[in-house]
A and B are shown apart, each in its own frame.
Chain A
Amino acid sequence: MKNRLRVLRAERAWSQADLALRLQVSRQTVNAIETGKYDPSLPLAFKIARLFDMPIETIFQADEA
């Protein structure tokens, strides 16, 4: 699963720690998602989408897409 989390975070000048606080997860979790080494659950993906006010599919894309 690929995602645009790092770009979206950078556009808002948020650090990984800032984003982690907003999502109520650890900074390590944000890093693992950004690097594509951990795929978030659906509830967390929805939370991310709500935070950035975007549809999920514009943030996350399947590898084959």
Chain B
Amino acid sequence: MPDEIPRRRLSPAALLGLAVGVAAVGGAVGALTDDADGLLRGAGSVMALASAAGAIWLTLLHWRRLDEAAREAHKAAWYWGGSAGLAVAGVVTGVFLARPETPMPWRLGDGDAGLVATGLLLCAAAQMIGYLVAWAWWWLVRR
């Protein structure tokens, strides 16, 4: 009988935290050097890209170290929570289309591009909120 306890490596949660941290540092460097000139801006962009690549790599490691139930929770949460979030975003889209005079309390950037970016961000946020709620629900009913 295999009775030996395998050694544990960096936990999936720690890897995910690292990925978020690396992405945040890259984003901050990119934002801080966005207004800089020449070499500094280029270096900032390279660092931001390298951070994004590092964050993706850490996320893949995180996924590979998750056990099957944790993966199932993520898949179910993304399907049900993400879809529900997108449905909410769809209703909001309908409201804005039906009432174009609705005031925008907040938006990203200027012009049409800013409006599109705001819409994309809100859709992503609605999906993320739905995903987090569904993920918590999945584990809550299996405690």
Contact = CB atoms under 8 A, between A and B. Distances in A.
The judgment on whether A and B are partners is: yes
Interface of A: 18, 21-22, 24-26, 28-29, 31-33, 35, 37-38, 40-41, 44, 50-53
Contacts of A51: 1-2
Interface stretch (B24-32, B41-49, B62-70, B88-96): B62-70
Main secondary structure of the interface of A (DSSP, over half): helix
A35 B69 CA distance: 14
Contacts of B8: 21
Top-5 shortest CB links A-B = A25-B67, A29-B69, A32-B142, A37-B142, A21-B5
Given A31-B143, A37-B141, A38-B142, A25 B5 contact: no
Interface of B: 1-3, 5-6, 8, 67-70, 72, 139, 141-143
A22 B143 CA distance: 20
Contacts of A53: 1
B5 A41 contact: no
B67 A26 contact: yes
Contacts of B6: 21-22, 24
Given A28-B139, A37-B141, A22 B68 contact: no
A22 B2 CA distance: 8
A31 B69 CA distance: 11
